[in-house]
Structure formats: C-alpha cells, structure tokens
Structure 1
Amino acid sequence: MSDTEKDEIEGSKAPLIEHLIELRSRLLKTVIAVLVAFLICFYFASDIFNILIMPYESAVGDARPVEMIFTAPQEYFFTQMKLALFGALFIAFPVIASQIYMFMAPGLYRHEREAFYPFLLATPILFATGAALVFFVVMPLALQFFLSMEQTGEGVAQIVHLPKVSEYLGLVMTLIFAFGLVFQLPVVLTLLARAGLVDAEGLKAKRKYAVVGTFVMAAVLTPPDPVSQLGLAVPTLLLYELSILSVKFVEKKRLERDLEGDEFS
C-alpha cells in the first residue's frame, strides 16, 4: 500500500455518528427525489399508461378497437399508484445511484472511485436497453402469440381477449424489470472480476451451466410462451459472452498495473 493510499484512508475515517448522519442525509434526499417523481408520474399516470398500451395496440392492429377493463371500483386507481411508483423509480434512479455512490466514495481509493464511473453510466443504459427490447420487440410478439388463441367465427363459441388494466400493467412491469435486471449481467460480473471473485477462464468453464440456468430463469421470469422466453434467454447468453470479454479486459488491466508496480518497487 502506497503512502498516498494510506493518506486517503486516514482522510476518509470518521466517527460512527458522522457516518449515520451522512446515511440519514443520503436516504432523505433519495426519498424526496422518489416522492417528487411519484407525484409527477401520478399526475401523468393515464398518459404513461397509454404509452405502455402501445405494444398491445400494435399486436391488435386495426382489426378491432383496443379495449381494457377493470372489475373493481378501486382497481384502476391502485393501478395508477403502481404505475406512478414504477415511473418514479425510473426517473429518480440517477439521484438514487448518485447518493449511493457519494456515501460509498469516501471509503474508496481514488483509482477505485474512477473505476466506478463507467459502471454508473452503463447501469441505466443497459437497463433502458432491456426495457426497450421488451417494449418494441418482446411484448408485441408475445401479445400476438396470446391473441392468436382467440376463437371467433360463426357456429363456434366466441373466445376473445379482454385484458384487465392491472394484469396488463403487471405483465409489462414484470418483463421490463426482468429484462432490465438481466441486462446488468456485464456490470455485475465485471465488478466481481475487479474484486477478484470471478475470472474469464472460470466463466468459460461454467458456460454450459449458464445456458441451462438462463433458460430456467427465462421460464420463471416470463410468461409461459416461447417468444418471451427466447426473447430473454438469447440476449442473456449474448450478455454472458460480452461479460467474459469485459472480465478479460479487467484482468489485462490488472496485470499491466501489477507489472508497473513491480517496475517501480
């Protein structure tokens, strides 16, 4: 450990009460940010829900008007509440992430703080990419699959799909969170590699287990249709391969840093 790093650690030490005060301050700012975003999203809840209906409108097409129902007086109100919280977490995420980082930063070395910046940027981008994949690809295809099971025509019982607003929103939220979290795989594995907990060769050796685990996870997190399951499994496997490349890059940088340290020792 260099003298500079020792000075950084000594300068970051603080009594427990100061850490608790700092934690309370960060939590308060986070709660305020979520609350403000919640109130804004609740005001525009109907508009946001109309945007989330677009995949369903795309699946239905022009064949018939798009209709949804709610079967309890309070159902749509609580649906709007859930939608507002859902939107608030999205909007407030930069504040939440920055508050977590600022609380942790004093306990990190300078090079460790600098290493966190790319992950702070990559996390929302990857989550948004997963959400976009759900919105523009997976949801329309999955809904087309479900709507194909309708039974219409003369001489047969009419079986048509008339979704509830709460169930539709639950499906959208589940898929967006599932895809968004899975798309964090490169970030998680790269951070674990920086901590020395995983390595590229180990990830390669466990590739076959990753394939099995991915399809099991896709079956659990998505509706029971092949479209959405493949829509989650295939990108996850691609992200796993991307993670291996990212871990290799981390290992290369660590080796170069170690060699430089040996030269100056």
Structure 2
Amino acid sequence: MPLVEHLRELRNRLAKGMLAITVVSVVAAFYSQDLMNFLIDPVPRCKTGLGESTGGACAVIAYTDLLSPFTTTVKVCFMAGVIISSPIWLYQLWAFVAPGLHKHERKYTYWFVSAAVPLFFGGAWLAYTILPVSMRVLLGITPDGSANILPMDKILDFVVRMILIFGGAFEMPLMLVMLNFAGIVSGRRMARWWRGVIMGVFVFGAVATPTTDPFGMIALAAPICVLYFIAVGVAMLNDKRRRRSNPDAELSDDEASHLDLTPESLDAPEGVSPGRPALPERVNSAPDHVNGYDDIT
C-alpha cells in the first residue's frame, strides 16, 4: 500500500475512534449525576455540619467558581466516553497496525493484551477501594476548629490520578515478562534483582501515590511485589522452554561455540587435475622477515 493510502486509512481509523468517543460521551451526559456520585463516593462527607459527624475526618464538596460545574461535568463525561468506548478505538488502532505484523507477533500481542486489561482494572479497583481509607487519614489531620472544603475538580483529579497510577503500576511485571519473551533479560537475572526491585517498588509507592500515608504506599507496593515474583516464575518457565527447544538460545553473540579439533586429510588443491602437475612455487630471494617484520608489513 502506498504512503497516501496508509495516511487515508489512518484518518478513517482515527475518525471512527473519535466518533465512538463522542457518541458515548453524549450518552454519558445523561448519567452525569450518577457518575459524579460514583467519583465522590470515597470522600467522607459531613452530614450534619462541618466536622461534626466524624470528628473532623470529613469534608464538604464545593464548586469554587461559576464555570466549575459545567467544566467538571464535561470532563467526567469525556473521561467516561474514553473508557467505555475503549474497545472500539483500540480495535481501530489494532486494525491499522495488525497487517504489518507477523503471525507469531499477533499471537503474542493477543496474549499480552488479554493479560494487560485485567491487570489495569485490578489496579484501578484497588485504588478505588483504598481511597476512602486514604482520604479519611488525610482529613483526620485537620486541626480542631477547622473545616475541609474540597473543590469538585480537585477531587476528580485526585481520584483519576490514583486510578491511573495504580493501574499503570500493575503493568510493570507484565513489561518484564515482555522483555523476557523478547530475549532481553533472563528469568535468572530478574531473580537476582529482587532486593533492589522491592526497595524501588516501595520508594515508587511512596512517591507516586498522591496520599502521604503509609497505607497507600503498602497497598500499592505489596501487590506489585507479588506480581513481580509471579513474573520471575513465568520468565524462568519460558527460559526452560527456550533451552529445551534451542540449547544455544541464551548464548551471547561473542560466545564461542564448541570447536571440533579432530585432524582431517586435505584434498588436492582446487583447480588442479590429478594428471596435471601443479605449478612450481614462486622463488623469492628476499628474506621472509626483515628486522622482525615480513615483507607485507
């Protein structure tokens, strides 16, 4: 297919994906109130007054300016459109890329996508589950006599950030498995990294989570560590399968193979028939080496 046809196909695929996002976003606008309630449900809200119901560990949700209700609703509807219509626009992206892949590459892609989607949604579910505890811990630090007034757009950004961080972090072990299947890193080497990986995961959990409480850090780091050791087990099984099918698969490019040093008899020089005498060797009167160097040097 020429370049112009590729660009035309890309335009059509993008148009179909954007149309799906737009249609779903318009439909989601009719359920915007339900979506808002779903997103603010983890926030412990004050029922009788500011700080009276839960001893200060609660908040009042507010809109800070005139356009905030409209912009927040549009943002929530667009986010719902992108998530709900993801099977459509992801299929359009796959339909554009798939013709350029080999059969085994498409097979591996199916396997990794089927594992990546549950991992991401598992991380998103975990983030949504621990959000009430994290928010209650943060709001509990409020001094006596003070009130918590949280803007709606800030709550939305906080919830979406937590979901994306947890969902993306759950994909890290899958990336290691992909590197192992590509032959870049072995399972044995991944197993030797476990001390540094655990330390790095806990540091990442402390830095990446918007909350400052240790509960959020442990809730993010502990599942990733478990998934990491599962990824090491999968990589070792894949290395074992690779050695069984090809014993030289893990040899590096500069590693020499076994040499057969058994002497063999030499045949007659090529181009010399048995009945024809060979040409006499050239007589060179010059010495072979002069001052330790041959004539070519």
TM-score bin, normalised by smaller chain: 0.7 to 0.9
For 1:124, give the aligned amino acid: V
**Matching residue of 2:121:** 128
The separation in 2 between residues aligned to 1:141 and 1:181, in whole angstroms, is: 21
The CA deviation at 1:175 is: 0.2
**Matching residue of 1:186:** 173
TM-score (norm 2): 0.72
The separation in 1 between residues aligned to 2:7 and 2:237, in whole angstroms, is: 37
The separation in 2 between residues aligned to 1:178 and 1:108, in whole angstroms, is: 30
Is the counterpart of residue 95 in structure 1 residue 88 in structure 2? yes
Is the counterpart of residue 82 in structure 1 residue 82 in structure 2? no
SS in 1 for 2:43: helix
**Matching residue of 1:19:** 6
Structure 1 pair 250–30 and aligned structure 2 pair: CA distance change class (3 A): farther
Structure 1 pair 202–36 and aligned structure 2 pair: CA distance change class (3 A): farther
Matched-pair identity in %:
29
Which consecutive unaligned segments of at least 5 residues does structure 1 have?
1-13, 153-157, 260-265
The CA deviation at 1:253 is: 4.0
Equivalent residue for 2:133, pick from 130, 141, 153: 141
The separation in 2 between residues aligned to 1:234 and 1:89, in whole angstroms, is: 29
The CA deviation at 1:112 is: 2.2
SS in 2 for 1:163: strand
The separation in 1 between residues aligned to 2:123 and 2:7, in whole angstroms, is: 35
Worse-superposed segment, 28-37 or 60-69: 60-69
Of structures 1 and 2, the larger Rg is shown by: 2
SS in 1 for 2:64: coil
**Matching residue of 1:111:** 104
Structure 1 pair 85–197 and aligned structure 2 pair: CA distance change class (3 A): farther
**Matching residue of 1:4:** none
SS in 2 for 1:187: helix
SS in 1 for 2:61: coil
For 2:132, give the aligned amino acid: P
The CA deviation at 1:109 is: 2.0
For 2:98, give the aligned amino acid: A
The separation in 2 between residues aligned to 1:248 and 1:22, in whole angstroms, is: 41
Structure 1 pair 207–96 and aligned structure 2 pair: CA distance change class (3 A): farther
**Matching residue of 1:9:** none
The separation in 1 between residues aligned to 2:120 and 2:46, in whole angstroms, is: 27
Deviations 1:18-47 (Å, cap 9, x if unpaired)?
Answer: 332332222222222222222222332221
Root mean square deviation of aligned Cα: 2.5
The separation in 1 between residues aligned to 2:242 and 2:20, in whole angstroms, is: 37
Q: What is the number of residues matched between the two proteins?
A: 240
The CA deviation at 1:133 is: 0.6
**Within-5 A mapping of 1:31-110:** 31-57=18-44, 63=53, 67-110=60-103
The separation in 1 between residues aligned to 2:188 and 2:3, in whole angstroms, is: 41
Structure 1 pair 23–165 and aligned structure 2 pair: CA distance change class (3 A): same
Structure 1 pair 162–215 and aligned structure 2 pair: CA distance change class (3 A): same
Equivalent residue for 2:230, pick from 225, 228, 242: 242
Structure 1 runs of 4+ with >6 Å offset? 59-62
**Matching residue of 2:155:** 168
Worse-superposed segment, 107-116 or 126-135: 107-116
The CA deviation at 1:61 is: 8.7
The separation in 2 between residues aligned to 1:252 and 1:117, in whole angstroms, is: 22
Deviations 1:204-250 (Å, cap 9, x if unpaired)?
Answer: 22222222322232223212221212221222222222221232233
**Matching residue of 2:17:** 30
Alpha-carbon contact 2:59-2:150 (below 8 Å) kept: no
TM-score (norm 1): 0.80
Which consecutive unaligned segments of at least 5 residues does structure 2 have?
248-297
Whichever structure has more helix as a proportion of its residues is 1
For 2:208, give the aligned amino acid: L
The separation in 1 between residues aligned to 2:244 and 2:82, in whole angstroms, is: 39
Worse-superposed segment, 205-214 or 163-172: 205-214
For 1:35, give the aligned amino acid: T
The CA deviation at 1:171 is: 0.8
**Matching residue of 1:3:** none
The separation in 2 between residues aligned to 1:208 and 1:114, in whole angstroms, is: 33
Deviations 1:37-63 (Å, cap 9, x if unpaired)?
Answer: 222223322211101222224x86993
SS in 2 for 1:101: helix
Structure 1 pair 225–189 and aligned structure 2 pair: CA distance change class (3 A): same
